[in-house]
Structure 1
Amino acid sequence: MSTCERCGATFHCAMRDQDAEGTAGSPDGTPCWCTLLPPAVPVPRQDAPATPETPAGAGCWCPECLKAHIAALQRRS
């Protein structure tokens, strides 16, 4: 299980979570749930400076936080 970097909730991330054999990815090869959403946040490098949109070293966000962020970006447009 992963922990959301924004709210601390636990959730499953198919790209990050490892199975019993230590490999990441979903058992059936399907992509992570987040790949079905519109791109909203560039994945920053660990040494990238923080911005309001992308905190430095940001990791995975839970479905609720990522969907809320996408909705906020759409409201600004």
Structure 2
Amino acid sequence: MPRYYFHVQDGTGLDKDHIGTDLRDPDEVHIEALKVARELCALWDDLPPGDLDKMAIEVVDASGETILVVPFSEVAEAGS
């Protein structure tokens, strides 16, 4: 099963996931990225909306290639 890494772009830098998660397919990767973004948005619910525009989950595969970016602003809007 492929391993994917869910890095957090916080607007000032990239907090890298050095452990990763084994997932079967791109659909599972997308679901996990949305879950991580929602959980972090809930922790940072007092952030001004403009700050969320700078934040995202960046998913990379084992070779380091970015395969998906989920902006926090999209997750926050969907949850409203």
Task: Name the TM-score, length of structure 1 as normaliser.
Answer: 0.30
Q: Which has the higher contact order (CA 8 A, sep 6+)?
A: 2
Give the helix-richer structure, 1 or 2: 2
Q: Which has the larger radius of gyration?
A: 1
Give the strand-richer structure, 1 or 2: 2
